[in-house]
Each structure stands twice: as structure tokens, then as C-alpha cells.
Amino acid sequence: MKIITGYRAEPHITAQQDRNVNMGIFGSGTYIVDMGSKMAATVVSANEITIANGLLVAEGCTAEIERGTSESLEIANGSQGMLRTDLIVARYTKASGTGVEDMQLAVITGTPAASNPADPSYNTGSIAAGDTLVDFPLYKISLNGISIETVTRIPSIVSVAKTSDVSAVSSALSTLSNTVTTLSNKIGNTAMGTVATTVTAAISELLTKINTLTSNLATTNTNLNTQKGRIDTLVSKTSGLVSFDTSNVAANSNGYRQLVALGMYLVVVNGASTDNGVRGMYLVGTTTGNALGIKAISTAGNVTLSDGGSGLLKIANASSVTVRLTIIRVY
């Protein structure tokens, strides 16, 4: 290991050591530093472009056009009806005998073409690897005929972080931290009933369960609709077969009710009294000839049911209270 920023009582700091530090700060590419006029290109005429002041960093090597100055570059004449692409490069050189290094602007003229002109070739290489001639493209110039059509900057413009930038980043990080804390508080530590441990995976897992539940509910709804259809069909088929009718028979009087042939009836007798003599239940059936068959399930002592002829059910109420008659047709 060798100390760089330290006193050695002899010249010991090399240009490459400085370049290495710059590459650690800016990167190993080609960049224009955000200061001065940022080496802006201006088209003066069809044969001249000026590059304004600024600082260049190319593979850690820094070069500048001093403040208050600019450099003029000559562009070769274009050709009528032809297109051409030129390059403005920063050309690094190192003398083989003396090791003297330099970096100057240069124009590399392209080859005219009727369409889609190719970029001209340039000297590639690596300063750190010891190459003595390396070109770093700065601008691409597009010519249409004898006119310069566009000048396009190639390197990015970069800046070294300022105190204000650091403060802004610190503030942004603080805001982000607060946001994460707020989100964490809203999420809480309540168990979500998932196998997943991350929020996104847990949400995905819960979504799958919700989709499954939705599918199951849809199936259940379909089954319920099927059963409802069956019930509706049964109701439709039994409509008119199952019915009931209520009426009153006054005290000490007779009542008659017309029954339908081949019907089966459940007849309930009930009076407004605690006397079982006015409470009874009977099963009544009719034949094709409207004859009645009456079977007492529970007899009301003061009320008599009999065949009144022609399908008529006779109810004789011998009690002193009104009885209510409920006739339920079951067939």
C-alpha cells in the first residue's frame, strides 16, 4: 500500500491516482460536470461550432475549457443531397517518449451517404490500461447537404452532492421513515391467519382465500336456486290440492259445507270454551259418488259431523257456544 494524500519528501502522487479517485466519485464513463456553461455546443455557421467553458471527466481524467473562454471547431463542408454524421471528441494522448499527457477537442468527419449515414469510427481504449490514444465522444453532428441539422450531446451532466442536496436527501429519508412507521402502525401486529409472513404475500394469500370463498358462495347460490326451483315446481303441482277453509256454526244450530269428490279432509272443531265437548278432530273422505266417510280422531261431545248428502258435510252444534270449523283439504 502507498499513501497518496501524505507527505513523502519526494514527488509521489501520479495522475492515475487522481483519476482513480475521480472514478470512485463520478464513475468510469464520460461526464460533463454541472458547472459553468457545461461545455454547451453552439452552431456558428455551416463550418463552425463553438464549445463553451466547462469541466469534463473522462475515465477519471479531468480537462476543462476555462471560464470566460470557448473553443471553436471547424466542420468540413457538407455535400449537396447527401447526409453525414461527424463526432466531436475529447482526445487523450500520451507521448511515448516523455509520458506527457494531454486532452484536446477534435472533430472526426464521417462518410457522406444518401441515407442512414454511419457514425465515424474513433479511437477506443483505456487510459488506466496504458493506451496512449483514446477518444471520448462528446457530440454527434448531423449534416443534411451543406447545413448542420442537429448537434446532440452524448455524455450525461453530473454534479457532486452539495450540502443542500444532502439535506434534501436526509429530509426525504426522514419522511420515508415516518411513512413506513405510520404504515406499520396501521397494519399492526395482529395475526392475519396466513402462512405468509410478508405483507404482500399475506395479502396475496388472503386474496386467494377470498376468491375461493366467493366461488363457494356462487356454488351455494346455484344450489339454493335449484332447490327453490324444485319447491316452486312442487307448489305448482299441488296448487288447488292443499287448501283450508274456516267458518263458524252458531250455538244450537246446524251448518253445511260442500266437499269435493275424491277429496281427503282434516276437520278441526273448536269452541270458545274450556269444555272439551266443543273440541274435536275428524278425518273425512269423499267417494266418487260424493258419499262421506267420517272417522273421529278426537270427538267433540256436543258437536256432531254427518253426511248431509251430495257431498255436504253436516255440522250439528248442540252446545251453547259458537264453534269454529277449520277444514283442511289434504288431497
261-290 pLDDT, tens digit each: 888 899 999 998 888 899 999 999 999 888
Tell me which residue has cell 496504458.
130
Q: How far apart are CA 277 and CA 306, in angstroms?
A: 17
Hey, what CATH topology would domain 15-158 get?
Triple-stranded beta-helix (2.60.520)
Torsional sign, CA 17, 18, 20, 24? positive
CB 325 within 8 A of CB 271: no
pLDDT value of residue 164: 60
Q: Could you tell me where the DSSP H helices lie in the chain?
A: 15-26, 163-187, 199-238
What are residue 53's phi and psi, to 5 degrees? Answer: -65, 155
Mean pLDDT of 94-108: 96
Question: Which residues, 6+ apart, have CB-to-CB distance to 86 below 8 Å?
Answer: 75, 76, 107, 108, 109, 110, 120, 140, 141, 143
pLDDT value of residue 160: 75
The C-alpha cell at 71 is: 473553443
Question: What phi-psi label fits residue 232: left (phi over 0), alpha (psi between -120 and 50 degrees) or beta?
Answer: alpha
What are residue 196's phi and psi, to 5 degrees? Answer: -65, 150
What are the extents of the domains in the chain? 15-158, 243-329
Q: How far apart are CA 46 and CA 82, in angstroms?
A: 14
pLDDT digits over 158-202, tens only?
987 665 666 777 787 888 878 777 766 666 555 556 676 677 777
Decide if 15-158 and 243-329 have a common fold. no
What is the DSSP secondary-structure string of 14-74? -HHHHHHHHHHHH-SSEEEESSTTTT-EEEEETTEEEEEEEEEEETTEEEEEEEEEEEEEE
Q: How far apart are CA 310 and CA 320, in angstroms?
A: 29
Q: How far apart are CA 284 and CA 298, in angstroms?
A: 13
pLDDT digits over 110-167, tens only?
999 999 999 999 999 999 999 999 999 999 999 999 999 999 999 999 987 665 666 7
- Domain over 243-329 is classified CATH 2.60.40.1680: yes
